[in-house]
Every structure is written in C-alpha cells, then in structure tokens.
Amino acid sequence: MKVYISVDIEGVAGITHWDEAEKGHADWAEFREIMTREAIAAIDGARAAGATKIWVKDAHDSGRNLITTMLPADVTLIREWSGHPYSMIQELDESFAALVMIGHHASVGSEGNSLAHTLNTRTHMITLNGKPVSEFRLCALAAASLGVPVAFVSGDKALMEEVEQANSHIGRLAVKEGRGQSTISMTPLAAQNAIRAGVEKSLRGKLKDCLLEMPEKFTLDLTYVSPVLAYEKSFYPGCKYLGNRTNRVETATIFDVMRALRFIK
C-alpha cells in the first residue's frame, strides 16, 4: 500500500500565532518540531496499517519546515514547490491508495482558527460552488479525480466540520479549537498519540467510502483583500471580474480550478 501524507503547520497542536508558523522566526523552531513529530506519528500509523511506500510533502509556506534528520529511512520526502497546480499534493497519482492530511486548517474567513486562510493571505474569501473552500477540500477533490480517497485529516475543529460535510467517512481528529486569537488544544504528545492511532484505524477501514463526490462543474470566486489584485488577476484566461474585488472562473474540472488558483490566488 502506497500512502501520501501532506503536512501543514497551521493545524498542529497548540499553534496560535503567525510568529510560530513563520520560517526564521524564533518561535517557529518549536512548531516545526511539532509539525515533524505529527508527520512521524502519521508515518508510524500508516506503517502499522501496512503501508510499504510512504511519501511526505512539506506543504507549508516555503515547503522547508520538516526537520529532515528526524524522519525515518522508509519515506520519500517532497520539499519546496515545483509550480505544479496540485501544490500541496504534488506528485500524487493513481498509484496511491490514500491521502492523509496532517496539520491542516480551516478555510479563509473561518473564525475557528486564528491562522485560518486558503492558500495565502491575499484573499478574504474563496468559494467553490458557493461555499468557502479550504485547502483540504481542494486537495481532496483533486485526489478524488485520480481515484485516491482521503483517509484521515488532523487539524482544527472548524476544519473537521468541513471534512464531515464533505464526506463523513473520512477519519478526523481535531487537535485544537480556535477562540479569537487563542487556542484550546491537546498537548503535542497527546495529539501525536491520537494521530498515530487515527491514521492506522482509518487506513485499515473502507477507503473507497472516503472518496469525495465530484461536482459536474465548478464556480470558483475569489474576493481579494486588495482591489489592485482583482484587476490584475482578472486577465487570467476565462476569468471574469464581478466587481467588489471579486473574480470568477467557471470550469468543468478540478484540475482547471487548481491551475487557475495557481495563477490568480
């Protein structure tokens, strides 16, 4: 069994402030280690469930956060960004049995995580078919187009509500809940134990039930923080300016959604 693990940082245990997510900031050192330990917990859970090939994507910001020397020998690691539209799940293909998402977070506009955003912090809303869309849902739809189910997601409680709505069979673990700028969180150690157990249990379950249903067409709306960006990005092929700092792309495939986001986010 071949398993892909996409690891972000804004949904790891305890993380509360942007200083803790920003490469080079003194506070980042502690949380990159927590991110690495949560990735290792997921790797251990996948191996316990029978995974023989495990790929790990460092999917936060620079793509250079995981402490590589802490990772076990039997994983393939993807760092930085190739420019491929699948970004946080680059190299995912039909050969994988499942996708696991660790340290993921609520979508832009959510009040459930002080670090909530989708892809970057230049938009104040991104919707897909009328609903605010997280990085989880974008990746899960792209994975589904390849026949790859999402087995398990860990992150904040607000994201878990979106995961449950998208497909209630997907294994979920809320390691923390946001309240204003604060977080109410499991300790890192407790989160790692729960991730290990949750990933193993989910990968032993009925994976085909965890595929997202594919909409027939997509309407992607981005409302930017800056009116200047809305004008510039409106020149992407097929992009329509709707007014009020908002651009729209309509398409039939999730690949086109991901490709558009690559250029107009």
Give contact residues for Zn ion (rule: CB under 5 A). 8, 10, 60
Q: How many CA atoms lie within 13 A of 7 on its CB side?
A: 34
Minimum CB distance to Zn ion smaller for 34 or for 249 = 34
Count Cα atoms within 13 angstroms, Cβ side, for 168: 1
| Least gap, CB of 163 to Zn ion (angstroms) | 17
Q: How far apart are CA 186 and CA 16, in angstroms?
A: 13
Contact 176, 184 (CB under 8 A): yes
DSSP state of 68: G
Q: How far is the CB of 235 from Zn ion (least distance, A)?
A: 28
- Pick 10 or 156: Cβ nearer Zn ion: 10
CA–CA separation, 112 and 243 (whole Å):
28
Nearest 5°: phi and psi at 186? -70, 160
The full DSSP string for 94-118 is TT-SEEEEEEE-PPTT-SS-TT--B
CB closer to Zn ion, 8 vs 58: 8
In this chain, which residue has its C-beta nearest to Zn ion?
60
Rounded to the nearest whole angstrom, what is the least distance from the CB of residue 120 to Zn ion in the complex? 9
Closest distance to Zn ion from the beta carbon of 65 (Å)? 9
User: By C-beta, is 51 or 99 nearer to Zn ion?
Assistant: 99
Nearest-approach distance from CB 230 to Zn ion, in angstroms? 24
Taking the least distance from each CB to Zn ion, the nearer of 10 and 221 is: 10
Instruction: Give the nearer residue to Zn ion in terms of CB position, either 7 or 51.
Output: 7
Q: How far is the CB of 104 from Zn ion (least distance, A)?
A: 8
Q: Are 203 and 1 in contact (CB under 8 A)?
A: yes
Going by C-alpha positions, the residue among 202, 197, 198, 183 that lies closest to residue 31 is 183
